[in-house]
A and B are shown apart, each in its own frame.
Chain A
Amino acid sequence: GENVEQHPSTLSVQEGDSAVIKCTYSDSASNYFPWYKQELGKRPQLIIDIRSNVGEKKDQRIAVTLNKTAKHFSLHITETQPEDSAVYFCAVGGSNYKLTFGKGTLLTVNP
């Protein structure tokens, strides 16, 4: 089955700095790559997703890049703010419904 590795497991940045979280996957047939944000005690919420026919997608301060050849994708958050502090999960989907999640990255943005 699909294997998803996510790094780093924890990330601490100063407010205003950028944060980058990376994920690798094993199944070359995978074609859907969402990112979820989970604040403490809250439900995971989709923040951005990308499909395999696109190399990069941006939404305000958040961007995702995809390298299908190398089988990795990354989440980029610019101008970080304290409210960006949360656990971020990458996920990988294939031709069916199933998502395989990474183990998460705890991002702390220090004021």
Chain B
Amino acid sequence: GAGVSQSPSNKVTEKGKDVELRCDPISGHTALYWYRQSLGQGLEFLIYFQGNSAPDKSGLPSDRFSAERTGGSVSTLTIQRTQQEDSAVYLCASSLVAGTQETQYFGPGTRLLVL
């Protein structure tokens, strides 16, 4: 079956612009996660969705970052007024059951470059 997909695969933007990153989880997966991976670093947790609600937004770096999920499926991560330090790979993952430790399946990521 289809895996997790993300779009765009690459995004180049100018400092100060807003960007939207999209994630399509595996069909039927109730849990969805966003991570950020900077060059040579591990995966930094950003936010977790259980269905359409986000019980944990603790990883969002600032109030310029927000995310939503609609219909228990697609999620959008929005970064407003982008800064150069936002440049990174943004990874989305989904798992079958929310609230438990299940295998997380990752998407290919969106490589964001802020000039």
Contact = CB atoms under 8 A, between A and B. Distances in A.
Contacts of A44: 43, 91, 106
A104 B42 contact: yes
Contacts of B41: 103-104
Given A42-B108, A45-B106, A97 B45 contact: no
A46 B109 contact: no
A57 to B, nearest CB: 14
Contacts of B99: 96-97
A43 B98 contact: no
A99 B91 contact: no
Given A31-B101, A43-B106, A44-B106, A101 B91 contact: no
B48 interface: yes
Interface residues of A, number: 25
A26 to B, nearest CB: 15
A43 B109 contact: yes
A91 B104 CA distance: 11
A81 B30 CA distance: 36
A98 B109 contact: no
Interface string B22-42: 000000000101010000111
Contact of A93 (B40, B43, B101): B101
Given A32-B101, A91-B43, A97-B101, 16 more contacts: A6-B42, A43-B4, A43-B106, A44-B43, A46-B103, A46-B104, A96-B99, A97-B33, A97-B50, A97-B95, A97-B98, A98-B48, A98-B56, A100-B45, A101-B42, A102-B42
